[in-house]
Each structure stands twice: as structure tokens, then as C-alpha cells.
């Protein structure tokens, strides 16, 4: 749907209860269709009153996977399961408020809040000293995980991770949808009417300058990310992130565990010069792998480099050597 048409509908929906009701019903139908097409594949854990969705597979040292903004377990597991399930027990969480996990509250959960509840969830699965891998926003949660439980974290792998307070403003998409009008009116319109072609275009933009793997849109269940609840919580988390990173970054130097950082030079979403280069200087035991020409999805565009980093950090953490 054209932006002008959405603007007109937004104005009408805000002013007309009958139209708002119709939009909400249409949004509900599309959410039901998405959940029928991509149901939860894992199990649910109840932690402090929140129901968290987790997928567990494989055998070996524990490897926790944390997806990025708007993602889910399907998105973060896709490049890893076949290659690593013989060498690691893979534990992939839907972060709070996203995928099929409940939110913790409605204010935009901080990385530390997410880390604390996920650490407790992991311990119910017998996870004691995992490697933790985070992509994009998930990188911030992985860092928070290590800061919350440094003695019980074996090592980190950060893929295009958000780590530092950044200059400038977020994209208009986040700013507009973060307003009261955006949360109340624009988000239901997106859920109800955003065409598949526009959602596919947004997925391609995240991969640029690379392209998504064949079938990626359906593999990850992209329509799950534009359900009203998931979209609202994603917007709130991203809009609230910068001050949390500003508070976390002075503590990075306290982390004595091994860290592997992979970041592409063509990443315009989380720029390497803002985030990973400074982080590598702050961490006492970090190795930064710079991926020339790679965008925001290094685990797909540079899968072998990513797998090598996971195995390297397992060795550095003195876990038993994976095959």
C-alpha cells in the first residue's frame, strides 16, 4: 500500500471508531494467518511470570543464540543448526516481547532486563557456563549477559552487535512508530495492510549490499515480526536502547572472558566504526574480524568466518574441542 494511502487511512482510523475496529479485525486475521503458517517450534518456560519461547537442539558445550531487532529463533538458528548441532547444544531464545516470548513490561525492556530473565531461563535448562552469541540488538543483550554473570559466561560471539551510544537519530520508522499515534494507529495499519512485497523489500534492505539466501523470507516467518505486539515491543526496545548502551559501555573493560567480534565494513545499520572497533579496544580479550564489503548479516554473508569464530572462542574458553 502506498505511503499516501496509509496516511489517509491513519487519519480516518484515528477519527472513526468503526474504521479502527475494521483495521484491528483485519490485523487480527493476518496475525492468525502468520501464527498458523509459522507456529512455535520449541518449548515454553515460565520465568518470573513471563512465558519465554526457546528451541534446544544438539549436543556438546552450550551455545546460546540471541536474535536481533524484530527477529525470532528461526532467524538466528537458520545458518547454524546443520553446521553446529553435532558440536554444541544450541539454545535459541525468542527475546522478551518478540517471537513467541512474553514482554516483561510495556516500556521497552533494557538489555540488562532481558539478560537477567534469559539467564534464569537458561539455568532451568541446566545451562551453567555457555558461549553466548548475539546478532545486532542481540549483541547488546549478549554483552549484558556477560556483565550480569561474568563468572558463568564462557565467552561471547558478537555479530554486527550494537555496543555503543551512537550519534544522530534513529530512522524515521522507529521515531514515528514510537509515538502514541504510531503505537495506537500506524502499527495496526502496518499489520493489517503491509504487502508481502514491501516486507520482502525491508528484508532485502537489512542484507544489503548482499542478498538474502533463497527462501529466507519463509524460513524465518517474516510476517511474525509485524504482528502488533511484536512490532510495538521491538519499536520500544530499539527506541530505548541508546542510554542503556551508554551506561553499559564503561563496564566492558571488566569482562575478562574471550570475545570474538565479526563486523562488516558495509554495515549501515550498526556501523563498525561506531560499535565494534571501539568495543574491541575496550575489551581485554577480544578478537575483531573485519569483513570487507559485508553488510549487517555476517552469519549469512560470511558463514564460514562466523563458524570459525564460534569454534575459536570455544577453544579459547577451554571448552572441549568441537569436531
Tell me the CATH number at 270. 3.40.50.1820
Report the pLDDT averaged over residues 154-168.
97
Residue 3: pLDDT band with limits 50, 70, 90:
low
| CA distances for 67 relative to 5, 12, 95, 234, 272, angstroms | 33, 36, 7, 12, 18
Say whether pLDDT at 105 is over 90: yes
Residue 8 CB contacts under 8 Å (≥ 6 apart), including other chains? none
Residue pair 99/138 in contact (Cβ under 8 Å)? The answer is: no
Q: Which residue has the cell 515480526?
A: 225
Q: What's the pLDDT score for residue 18?
A: 74
Q: Is residue 32 domain-resident?
A: yes
Domain count, the chain: 1
Predicted pLDDT at 195: 95
- 271 located within any domain: yes
- Residue 322 forms part of a structural domain: no
Nearest CA among 316, 315, 306 for reference residue 284: 316
Reply yes or no on whether the pLDDT at 224 is more than 50: yes
% of residues, the chain, pLDDT over 70: 94
With 90 as the cut, is the pLDDT of residue 6 above it?
no
69 touches 33 (CB < 8 A): no
Closest CA to 189 of 23, 30, 33: 23
What local confidence, expressed as pLDDT, does residue 261 receive? 98
Question: Is the pLDDT assigned to residue 11 strictly greater than 80?
Answer: no
The stretch 227-247 carries a mean pLDDT of 98
DSSP, collapsed to helix, strand or coil, labels residue 265 as coil
Q: Which domain holds residue 168?
A: 3-316
Cβ-based neighbour number of residue 74 at 10 Å? 22
17 three-class SS: helix
Q: What is the pLDDT of residues 115-124, one digit of tens each?
A: 999 999 999 9
pLDDT digits (tens, 9 = 90+) for 40-76: 999 999 998 999 999 999 999 999 999 999 999 999 9
Residue-level pLDDT at 4 = 57
In this predicted structure, the answer to whether residue 322 has a pLDDT above a threshold of 50 is no
Average pLDDT value for residue range 254-275: 98
Q: Is residue 321 part of a domain?
A: no
**214-225 burial code (b ≥16 CB/10 A, e <16):** eebbeebbbbbb
pLDDT at 21: 83
Q: Judge whether 56 lies within some domain.
A: yes
Cell numbers standing for residue 120: 534464569
Indicate whether 145 pLDDT > 60: yes
Residue range 290-307: average pLDDT? 98
Residue 121 within any structural domain of the chain: yes
Amino acid at each position: 500500500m502506498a505511503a499516501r494511502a496509509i496516511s489517509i487511512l491513519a487519519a480516518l482510523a484515528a477519527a472513526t471508531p468503526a474504521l479502527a475496529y475494521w483495521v484491528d479485525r483485519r490485523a487480527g486475521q493476518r496475525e492468525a494467518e502468520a501464527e498458523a503458517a509459522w507456529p512455535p517450534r520449541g518449548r515454553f518456560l515460565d520465568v518470573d511470570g513471563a512465558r519465554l519461547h526457546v528451541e534446544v537442539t544438539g549436543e556438546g558445550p552450550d551455545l546460546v543464540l540471541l536474535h536481533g531487532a524484530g527477529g525470532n529463533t528461526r532467524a538466528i538458528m537458520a545458518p547454524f543448526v546443520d553446521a553446529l548441532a553435532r558440536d554444541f547444544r544450541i539454545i535459541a531464545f525468542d527475546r522478551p516481547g518478540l517471537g513467541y516470548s512474553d514482554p516483561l513490561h510495556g516500556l521497552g525492556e533494557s538489555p540488562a532486563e532481558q539478560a537477567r530473565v534469559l539467564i534464569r531461563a537458561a539455568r532451568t535448562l541446566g545451562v551453567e557456563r555457555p558461549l553466548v552469541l548475539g546478532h545486532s540488538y542481540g549483541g547488546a543483550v549478549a554483552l549484558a549477559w556477560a556483565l550480569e554473570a561474568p563468572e558463568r559466561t564462557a565467552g561471547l560471539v558478537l555479530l554486527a552487535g550494537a555496543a555503543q551510544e551512537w550519534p544522530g537519530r534513529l530512522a524515521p520508522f522507529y521515531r514515528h512508530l514510537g509515538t502514541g499515534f504510531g503505537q495506537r494507529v500506524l502499527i495496526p495499519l502496518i499489520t493489517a495492510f503491509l504487502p508481502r512485497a514491501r516486507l520482502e523489500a525491508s528484508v532485502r534492505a537489512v542484507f544489503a549490499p548482499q542478498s538474502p539466501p533463497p527462501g529466507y523470507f519463509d524460513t524465518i516467518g517474516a510476517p511474525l515480526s509485524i504482528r502488533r505486539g511484536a512490532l510495538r515491543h521491538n519499536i520500544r526496545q530499539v527506541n530505548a536502547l541508546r542510554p542503556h548502551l551508554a551506561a553499559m559501555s564503561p563496564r566492558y573493560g571488566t569482562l575478562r572472558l574471550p570475545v570474538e567480534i565479526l563486523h562488516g565494513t558495509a554495515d549501515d545499520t550498526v556501523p563498525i566504526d561506531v560499535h565494534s572497533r571501539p568495543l574491541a579496544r575496550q575489551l581485554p580479550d577480544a578478537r575483531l574480524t573485519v569483513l570487507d564489503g559485508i553488510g549487517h548479516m555476517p552469519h549469512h554473508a560470511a558463514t564460514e568466518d562466523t563458524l570459525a569464530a564460534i569454534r575459536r572462542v570455544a577453544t579459547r574458553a577451554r571448552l572441549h574441542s568441537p569436531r
